[in-house]
Amino acid sequence: MFHAFFRSIFWVLPLFLVLPPVNSSSCAMGNRTTEIRVKYENILSPDINELVNMSAEYRDRCCKNKKHENAKVFFCNDTQEIESLQSMACNMLKFFNKQKISKDFRWKAAIVSCGTLQVLQCKCERNRKEKVCTEVNTHNKEDTETGEHSKKKCNQEFCELKENISSLRSCWNKFAKIISR
Partner 1 sequence: MTCTWGSRETLTTNFSLYYWYENRSPVVECKHYLQDQGVSVGCRFNQSEIVQFQPFRVRVNASLDGKTLEIPSERMELQDLVKPEAPVNLTIHNLSSNQLQLTWSSPYPKAQCLEHAVKYKSNKDTTWTEHKVKGEIFSFPSVDYEKYYTFYVRSKINSYCGSTQLWSEWSVPVVWGNNATSEGTAEEQLHWFWIHTVLIPITSCLLLLVLVILLVRMERVWVIFMPRIPNPSKNFDELFITHKGNFQEWTGVPKDVVESFKPNYNESVCYVSELPPKESYEPFWGSTDQLLAVPGASAGTREHGPHKNSYVGA
Contact residues for partner 1, defined by CB under 8 A = 40-41, 45, 49, 52, 71-72, 74-76, 166-167, 169-171, 173-174, 176-177, 180-181
CA 132 centroid distance within chain: 12
Q: Which CB atom, from 26 or from 45, has the smaller least distance to partner 1?
A: 45
* DSSP-derived 3-state class of residue 58: coil
Q: At closest approach, how far in Å is the CB of 108 from partner 1?
A: 17
Q: Which CB atom, from 70 or from 137, has the smaller least distance to partner 1?
A: 70
Q: Which of 24, 28, 25, 23 is nearest to 120 (CA)?
A: 28
How many whole angstroms separate alpha carbon 126 and alpha carbon 124? Answer: 7
Residues near 136 by beta carbon (within 8 Å), at least 6 away in sequence: 96, 107, 110, 111, 114
Q: At closest approach, how far in Å is the CB of 165 from partner 1?
A: 12
Q: Which CB atom, from 118 or from 170, has the smaller least distance to partner 1?
A: 170
Q: At closest approach, how far in Å is the CB of 55 from partner 1?
A: 12
Residues near 161 by beta carbon (within 8 Å), at least 6 away in sequence: 55, 92, 95, 98, 101, 105, 106, 109
Q: At closest approach, how far in Å is the CB of 164 from partner 1?
A: 12
Q: Which CB atom, from 7 or from 72, has the smaller least distance to partner 1?
A: 72
How many whole angstroms separate alpha carbon 15 and alpha carbon 38? Answer: 42
Q: Which of 45, 44, 72 is nearest to 160 (CA)?
A: 72
Q: Which CB atom, from 121 or from 166, has the smaller least distance to partner 1?
A: 166
Q: 72 with 133: CB under 8 angstroms?
A: no
